[in-house]
Amino acid sequence: SSLWQSDGTAYHHVWPPMKLGWKIVLGSFIGFFGAAFGSIGGVGGGGIFVPMLTLIIGFDPKSSAAMSKCMIMGAAVSTVYCNLKLKHPTLDMPVIDYDLVLLIQPMLMLGVSIGVICNVIFPDWLVTVLLIILFIVTSTKAFLKAIETWKKETIIITVSIWKNVYWKEVGLLAFVWVAFLVLQVAKNYMATCSIWYWVLNLLQIPVSVGVAMYEAVGLVQGRRVISSKRNEQNSLRAHQLFVYCFLGVTAGVVAGLLGVGGGSIMGPLFLELGVPPQVLST
């Protein structure tokens, strides 16, 4: 049945009763292994959480997308902590490529904010269709690329976190995260679609674009490099960086719209760009 009222003015979220039964047990089992395998592959597990919450537990697609984001965050925090002390498999650098993260992550977060708005606007059938298309395309691309790279696996070296973290880059990322959090929380205290509501929404643009541009300028001038790309130390061109940022925003929009992790989209892309699997999963 339709989740909209007959006059089309409101959306009814479907929240089934949380009673212990086979659905809860099966959902917990799938969620556990979804988080485990999602952390290994760097995709967050959202591609497993959303179908599980919708098809097994019984939530509506929009609620499933929102809850999936909360579930992904818990796994992401623990995974980042574990990866902080890992070295790159072949280069003398951390396994986390901070320059690549600084270029992509701010634009990804901007895209997520746009995608969340689209999730509220789009009908359920469209969200479901887009989710199916996303899974088919990304899983196929990742599988084909994995066949080419599985023989190149190498051992990861563990070192002290304090020696392995680039604190300046982490500080910039923390600034973006905190700024987005403050703006999102403040927005909830404003009347929907009021002037201040849209002002707080639009303030996310200079935050994300400013940090991404700072990193992009350094990459163009050669002061910074994306070292994880198979020993390619050359500076990138402006149009290449624009494509990277555009793909980051697009991945964020899709992630926010469908409730999956941005890694589900960026993972296959990074493989195509020559980033080692161990690096992209971080």
Residue 128's pLDDT is 74
Segment 226-280, tens digit of pLDDT: 766 554 545 567 777 888 888 888 888 887 777 666 666 666 666 666 666 666 6
Segment 40-49, tens digit of pLDDT: 555 556 667 7
What are the residues whose beta carbons fall under 8 Å from the beta carbon of 202, sequence distance 6 or more?
A: none
Residue 147's pLDDT is 59
Residue 156's pLDDT is 56
Map tokens 């992009």 to a residue.
216
Task: Give the orientation angle of helix 124-149 with respect to helix 238-258, to 10 degrees.
Answer: 130
- Which tokens in the block code for residue 183? 């703006």
Residue 126's pLDDT is 81
Domain range summary for the chain, segments of one domain joined by +: 88-280
Does residue 27 carry a pLDDT above 80?
A: yes
> How many CB atoms are located within 10 Å of the residue 78 CB?
11
What are the residues whose beta carbons fall under 8 Å from the beta carbon of 156, sequence distance 6 or more?
A: 86, 87, 89, 95, 278
In the 3-class helix/strand/coil scheme, how is 119-159 assigned residue by residue? HHHCCHHHHHHHHHHHHHHHHHHHHHHHHHHHHHCCCCCEC
Residue 7's pLDDT is 47
Residue 171's pLDDT is 87
Segment 169-193, tens digit of pLDDT: 888 888 998 999 899 889 888 888 8
Most confidently modeled of 9-13, 207-211, 220-224?
Answer: 207-211
Contact status, residue 104 vs residue 219, Cβ threshold 8 Å: no
Q: Greater confidence, 115 or 86? A: 115
**Rounded Cα distance, 175 and 80, in Å:** 17
Residue 108's pLDDT is 84
DSSP symbols for 6-63: TTS--B--------SSHHHHHHHHHHHHHHHHHHHHTSTTHHHHHHIIIIII---HHH
Residue 104's pLDDT is 83
- Which tokens in the block code for residue 159? 């070192």
Q: What mean pLDDT do residues 15-43 have?
A: 75
> How many CB atoms are located within 10 Å of the residue 114 CB?
17
